[in-house]
Amino acid sequence: MDKTSENAALVLFSGGQDSATCLAWALSRFERVETVGFDYGQRHAIELECRAALIDGFKSIKTEWKARLGEAHTLAIPTLAEISDTALTRDIAIEMKEDGLPNTFVPGRNLLFLTFAAALGYRRGIRHIIGGMCETDYSGYPDCRDETIKSLNVAINQGMGREFELHTPLMWRDKAQTWQLADELGGEALVDLIIQHSHTCYLGERGALHDWGYGCGECPACRLRSAGWAKYKAT
- Domains along the chain? 5-200 (3.40.50.620)
Average pLDDT of the residues of the chain:
91
Q: What digits encode the pLDDT tens for the residues 96-137?
A: 777 777 677 777 889 999 999 999 999 999 999 999 999 987
The whole-number average pLDDT for the span 152-172 is 98
pLDDT at 3: 58
Amino acid identity of 171? M
Give me the torsion for CA of 111, 129, 33, 140, rounded to 10°: 50
- Asked whether residue 84 carries a pLDDT value surpassing 50, the answer given is yes
**∠ CA(205), CA(211), CA(212), 5° rounding?**
65
Span of 29-38, 85-94, 155-164, 173-182 with lowest mean pLDDT: 85-94
pLDDT at 141: 84
The whole-number average pLDDT for the span 62-76 is 97
pLDDT at 83: 75
Q: Which range, 8-12, 95-99, 109-113, 204-208, has the best average confidence (pLDDT)?
A: 8-12
Global pTM reads 0.92
Cβ atoms of 101 and 107 closer than 8 Å = no
Percent of the chain with pLDDT over 70: 95
Q: What digits encode the pLDDT tens for the residues 31-62?
A: 999 999 999 878 667 888 899 999 999 999 99
pLDDT at 102: 67
The whole-number average pLDDT for the span 68-85 is 88
- Asked whether residue 2 carries a pLDDT value surpassing 70, the answer given is no
pLDDT at 42: 81
The whole-number average pLDDT for the span 150-178 is 97
- Asked whether residue 176 carries a pLDDT value surpassing 80, the answer given is yes
**∠ CA(207), CA(89), CA(199), 5° rounding?**
35
